[in-house]
Structure 1
Amino acid sequence: MPDHKPAASTSPAPARGGRRVRARVKNSRRRSARHLLSLAQLQESMKVAAPPSLQNAMIAGLQAALAVLLALGSMHVSPWPELVGFPALGALAALFGRYASFERRRRIVFICGILLTLGVLLPSLISYAGATPAMMVLVLALCAGASTIAVSHWSLGGPGAVIIVFAVGAVLGPVDSLHTVAARTLATIWGAALAWLVCMLTDRWRSQDVSVPGAPSGRKPPFRHQLIAACRITVGAALAALVTHAAGWQYPAWAAIGATAVMQGGHLHITMNRSLQRMAGTVVGACIVWAILAQNPSFWTMVTAIVLFQFITELIIGFNYALGQITVTPMALLMTHLVAPAANSNLPVERVIDTIVGAALGIVLALIFSSADDRAYFLRRQKKLRARR
């Protein structure tokens, strides 16, 4: 009998199918964007929840504050006080691994110390080689992507690649000699060593019996997934920094930091929450640091403020990311001021503008680059939340 089934394929069918697929993708992006900009999403970003362990948050805050204090104080009284900010960058390694086991925490802090040191060494070498400011902005973006892969590969956890990007952003200025490169690097190593030592001596105070939702499981995601995430963050950091650089602003690194912090969220709703929280917290934090810098504070006054803000940040950021940004902003700006003293009084204002640009671009790019699975998960989640109300 003759086969009366229709042909397996004809030329118009794929075209219609392709149009339907493109229409569904476009529609899912529109629906996702609508939900991201809804009042419900804003309300979700304002929720306050207790951290997994207040004890560990307090210990981590004390460890980070002590490491930064020792780093700043020891370099200030050394023969090289002009390098005072660089050990503080290395000391930020103490921020990582607060919920890890004792043995794994030491490994995490050690690796992060190396990454922070490389974050100072490599851009300094490239700057010394004669890179232009625009080229240095691209170096910053590439470092953001590479840091994302490193954090994922070694399961380093929070606060993630954004801390390494902060260190890179602090050293983007011109470098005059290899001696300067070496001095910066050794100073950063000193700070990282202090962080490791502080954590090693005080980790027994931490609790290891803490369940942390979404914490790294120790299993590495497929390298392809790591690479995709790194490419997204590289593009986001590059665009944010280039936009602010083209506008003539002095600190394009902050826009890259904002984009990185927002885009390293695992899901669209987390990305949007981070964006809103980062913008709101930065505005308040910038007002605080403006009031501090307006008093023309002494070195030890700034050190006291940095240490205090560092401790408070680690204590409260687990409740709501915006609360942490209120205190981390003055800490970061004062530390940046110590590394490279600001030539003008617009430091807090530029921080706000750059952060808003970076965070806004971060959420736009996160939506553009999102996969169908990302959007489907987000829309299912929104549907469940509406059903509970």
Structure 2
Amino acid sequence: MPDKNDSSKEPRRPRGATHGASARHLVSPAQWAESVVIGAPPSLRIFAIAGVQAALAVLLAIVATHLSPWPQLVGYASLGALAALFGRFATVERRMRIVVICALLLALGVLVPSLASWAGALPWMMVLVLALVAGASTVAVSWWSLGGPGAVIIVFAAGAAYNPVGSGAEVLARVLATLAGGAVAVLSCLVTDRWRATELKNLRLPPVHVPPWSHQWIAAGRITACAALAAWIAFMLGWHHPAWAAIGAVSVMQGGHLHITMNRALQRMAGTIVGSFIVWAMLAQQPSFWTVVAAIVVFQFLTEVVIGYNYALGQITVTPMALLMTYLASPTVAATMPVERVLDTMLGAVLGIVFALVFSSVDDRMHLHEHRSRAR
């Protein structure tokens, strides 16, 4: 019989790695205190340059589309311009490849739900399509190592295309406008990316941990299921933007570890509440088109500058930017947007952390236990 005291046996898992212990870690005062810590971005200059590039791309895309014969497509063009957000720490050559890929992914994010709507998909089917886009974009971001801001931007584009489509011509127009915005992003980065070259030479970033493909597929499956549930609940509650609940779930579940996931959940909810109040105050003044455009550009730049310090700060500025872009596409929903954004975000964030914990591996929970033990 084996010796019960055999020291060669695999050590027992610590008690702190159970689901219950992990849940207690995630709601502990130490976790809440960690979520409000102001950190230091790897390079404020690069974040600022990325902010200028994204703001410039969005501005050019909006203005060009508004002055074109198709001003109703201004929202889709501005979505395509968000491709400039990706690859801020990549080399100049690799950055161009990343931005092109992201521009195509954003166009696909618009194309898939638009085609589904044109084909007559029922509302519950559109929720499923949205969730599938979330999972597929998660895999794509990992496959091409596109980095931040990750799949959440692709889901944001898909959410914008959630509205009903009346014809194939409308589908084509949406996709072409998104591609046009992506082309503006590519050109904007191509012209200005030399600003990053000197800073990149002096920057030493830690190596990026790339999990095994099996783990990435599992993560994509979790995100798909959570996004589907969040969007379905929002739909069943009669909310007009179930995509926002899915976005909240995806953004939270992009965290690499449980404590980071919880931080993002708390920070996203807090930042969204403040940001929604800001945009409510702005829309109450019935701003002109150009005032809205100026605000979008300013908030886009500020988001890239402050998000490296704390994710909540980025949410305070990105929420008005996202809602104002939605307002440009659908001015009639302005009155209910801020409140629904808060509710959708809270729903998605809560479900995101619940999914992350319930479906966590032993290694995930052990990492959380060790992280919290080191922090004591």
- Using the size of structure 2 for normalisation, the TM-score is 0.94
C-alpha change, 1:211 and 1:316, in structure 2 (3 Å) is same
Paired letter, 2:34: E
Deviations 1:150-182 (A, max 9, x none): 000100000000000000001101100000001
The CA distance in 2 between the partners of 1:56 and 1:344, in whole Å, is 34
The CA distance in 2 between the partners of 1:211 and 1:139, in whole Å, is 40
8 Å contact from structure 1 (residues 96, 112) kept in 2: yes
Identity %: 64
The equivalent of 1:18 in structure 2 is none
The equivalent of 2:135 in structure 1 is 145
Structure 2 residue 200 is matched with structure 1 residue 208: yes
Structure 2 residue 357 is matched with structure 1 residue 367: yes
The CA distance in 2 between the partners of 1:344 and 1:43, in whole Å, is 35
8 Å contact from structure 2 (residues 117, 126) kept in 1: yes
Which structure 2 residue ranges, 5 or more long, are not aligned? 3-11
The CA distance in 2 between the partners of 1:332 and 1:143, in whole Å, is 19
The equivalent of 1:38 in structure 2 is 28
Structure 2 residue 329 is matched with structure 1 residue 336: no
The equivalent of 1:10 in structure 2 is none
Per-residue deviation, 1:25: 8.7
The CA distance in 2 between the partners of 1:221 and 1:340, in whole Å, is 40
Per-residue deviation, 1:381: 1.0
RMSD of aligned residue pairs (Cα, Å): 1.6
Paired letter, 2:339: V
**Bigger mean CA deviation after superposition, 221-230 or 189-198:** 221-230
1:100 corresponds, among 53, 69, 90, to 90
Structure 2 residue 275 is matched with structure 1 residue 285: yes
The CA distance in 2 between the partners of 1:45 and 1:36, in whole Å, is 11
C-alpha change, 1:38 and 1:90, in structure 2 (3 Å) is same
3-state SS in 2 of match to 1:370: coil
Deviations 1:13-41 (A, max 9, x none): xxxxxxxx9x9899711000001001110
Structure 2 residue 224 is matched with structure 1 residue 241: no
8 Å contact from structure 1 (residues 88, 191) kept in 2: yes
3-state SS in 2 of match to 1:208: helix
3-state SS in 1 of match to 2:18: helix
The CA distance in 2 between the partners of 1:236 and 1:179, in whole Å, is 33
C-alpha change, 1:377 and 1:27, in structure 2 (3 Å) is closer
The CA distance in 2 between the partners of 1:115 and 1:343, in whole Å, is 27
The CA distance in 2 between the partners of 1:344 and 1:76, in whole Å, is 19
3-state SS in 1 of match to 2:200: coil
Per-residue deviation, 1:123: 1.0
Structure 2 residue 113 is matched with structure 1 residue 117: no
The CA distance in 1 between the partners of 2:38 and 2:16, in whole Å, is 34
- Using the size of structure 1 for normalisation, the TM-score is 0.91
Aligned counterparts, 1:1-389, within 5 A: 5=1, 28-206=18-196, 207-209=199-201, 210-213=203-206, 216=208, 221-343=211-333, 345-386=335-376
**Bigger mean CA deviation after superposition, 236-245 or 337-346:** 337-346
Paired letter, 1:35: H
The CA distance in 2 between the partners of 1:343 and 1:201, in whole Å, is 37
**Bigger mean CA deviation after superposition, 336-345 or 90-99:** 336-345
Per-residue deviation, 1:200: 0.8
8 Å contact from structure 2 (residues 15, 21) kept in 1: no
8 Å contact from structure 2 (residues 16, 369) kept in 1: no
8 Å contact from structure 1 (residues 170, 340) kept in 2: no
Which structure 1 residue ranges, 5 or more long, are not aligned? 7-20
Per-residue deviation, 1:121: 1.0
8 Å contact from structure 1 (residues 60, 94) kept in 2: yes
3-state SS in 2 of match to 1:98: coil
Paired letter, 2:286: N
The CA distance in 2 between the partners of 1:276 and 1:49, in whole Å, is 16
| Residue-pair matches, total | 364
The CA distance in 2 between the partners of 1:112 and 1:26, in whole Å, is 40
